[in-house]
Amino acid sequence: MTTIEAVQGDITHESVDAIVNAANSSLLGGGGVDGAIHRRGGPAILEECRKLRASRYGKGLPTGQAAATTAGDLDARWVIHTVGPVHSTSEDRSHLLACCYRESLRVADELGARTVAFPAVSTGVYGWPMDDGARIAVETVRAADTAVERVRFVLFDRQAHEVFAARLR
């Protein structure tokens, strides 16, 4: 059974097997969580992202998919990059957001990861409402068939932490 928790903090300081990155499809770094992971993790992450892009994802990592690289200088073994959907009011894209969590856990299982830290995928610049994003994240992780023993949602601000903590109760 997977233990699921929510904490307020900086995901780049997590000591876990795998940190999930809310990446953009280019895999070449960006803002928010993605930029923070690349800055703190160092150039090894970007180097492996470039190799992944060249070998498998020439047009970029598709939305809802996940791929792993080294964690570089982070206190983790791997970074699992996933591309969340941009929120839309004209189209239900919630299945794509759920895929981000499922696929990240699938990759974690392939790697043998037992502890995984997730950010709130798509709830920043991609505009997903925090409450709905938390609902999808928690429901998806709870329903997942995974060998991961501990999932930690690491939320940068107090409000996001409160929303996730409420969903976990």
Q: What type of residue is 165?
A: A
The whole-number pLDDT of residue 55 equals 87
- State the helix-helix crossing angle for 130-143 and 158-168, rounded to 10 degrees: 40
Residue 58 has pLDDT above 90, yes or no: no
Average pLDDT over residues 28-40: 94
What's the CA gap between 67 and 100, in Å, rounded?
Answer: 10
pLDDT tens digit string along 65-99? 999 999 999 999 999 999 999 999 999 999 999 99
Instruction: List domains and CATH numbers for the chain.
Output: 3-168 (3.40.220.10)
What's the CA gap between 82 and 66, in Å, rounded?
Answer: 4
Known catalytic residue: 73?
Answer: no
Give the model's confidence band at 100: pLDDT under 50 very low, under 70 low, under 90 confident, else very high: very high
Q: Which residues pair with 83 in a beta bridge?
A: 23
- Looking only at the bridges linking them, the beta strands covering 66-70 and 150-155 are unpaired
Average pLDDT over residues 109-124: 97
Residue 59 has pLDDT above 90, yes or no: no
Q: From the candidates 17, 34, 131, 132, which is the catalytic residue? A: 34
The whole-number pLDDT of residue 1 equals 86
- Looking only at the bridges linking them, the beta strands covering 78-83 and 66-70 are antiparallel
| Percent of the chain clearing pLDDT 70 (strictly above) | 100
Mean pLDDT of the chain: 96
